Homo-oligomer: A and B are copies of this chain.
Amino acid sequence: MTLRPPSGRTDVIALLAEVFREQGFEGATLSAISKATGLGKGSLYHHFPGGKEEMAQAVLDEIDAWFEREVFGPLASLAPDAIDAMFDAVTDYFRSGRRVCLVGAFALSDGRARFGAKIHAYFHRWNEALAHALAARGYSPRKARVRAEEIVAGIQGGIVLARAINDPTSFDRMIARLRRRARRQTP
């Protein structure tokens, strides 16, 4: 039995994302991609003439768009409760560390050479938007930057540790800690 091919490009990209998350860039073979998407190699090259690399770039773009819409944008525009909404969103999105941050994983792997610019942009934007939101909570600009950096790194570390010790509650504890820390103005 064969899966019905996904209808649109966005659906294909969502499937690609899961393959890259689970197998990494090098580990994701075209046959695995073909199987996961239900598309033949020909169709894949029709949609992504640049091959695997273009597929991964499209995934990163999609991820960035999602975070811009759901997290970075609300933070930067000082939407009410945007910081708490961010913690809710990442807990859900990363499934308490069961699902990796593909951008973070690429930053640690050889994907950094290929996708360095997008990796940098994603994390810089996250830092910047969060610092802006923290400043609106009363942090000095300097303290807001430092605290934002701590939170963004903490989320990434929480994913690594939760996966390493196979304990999603470890990620949840990290989020709870960071959430508290984002509330307090003085460390």
Contacts and interface: CB of A to CB of B under 8 A. Distances in A.
Given A123-B165, A146-B173, A165-B124, A110 B27 contact: yes
Identify the interface centre among A112, A120, A164: most chain B CB within 10 Å of its CB. A164
A176 to B, nearest CB: 10
Q: How many copies of this chain does the complex contain?
A: 2
A122 to B, nearest CB: 8
How big is chain A's contact interface, by range? 35 or more
B24 A164 contact: no
Nearest to A110: B27
Contacts of A136: none
B164 A119 contact: yes
Nearest to A146: B173
Main secondary structure on A side of the interface with B: helix
Contact of A161 (B23, B110, B156, B158): B156
Nearest to A176: B146
A155 interface: yes
Interface stretch (A35-43, A84-92, A97-105): A97-105
Contact of A104 (B116, B120, B164): B164
Contacts of A154: 150, 153-154, 157
Please provide the 7 A-B residue pairs with the shortest distance between their CB atoms, ordered closest to farther.
A157-B157, A153-B157, A26-B26, A107-B164, A156-B160, A156-B157, A153-B161
19 contacts: A26-B27, A27-B109, A104-B108, A107-B163, A108-B108, A108-B109, A116-B166, A120-B164, A123-B165, A149-B170, A149-B173, A150-B154, A152-B157, A152-B161, A153-B154, A153-B157, A157-B157, A157-B160, A160-B160
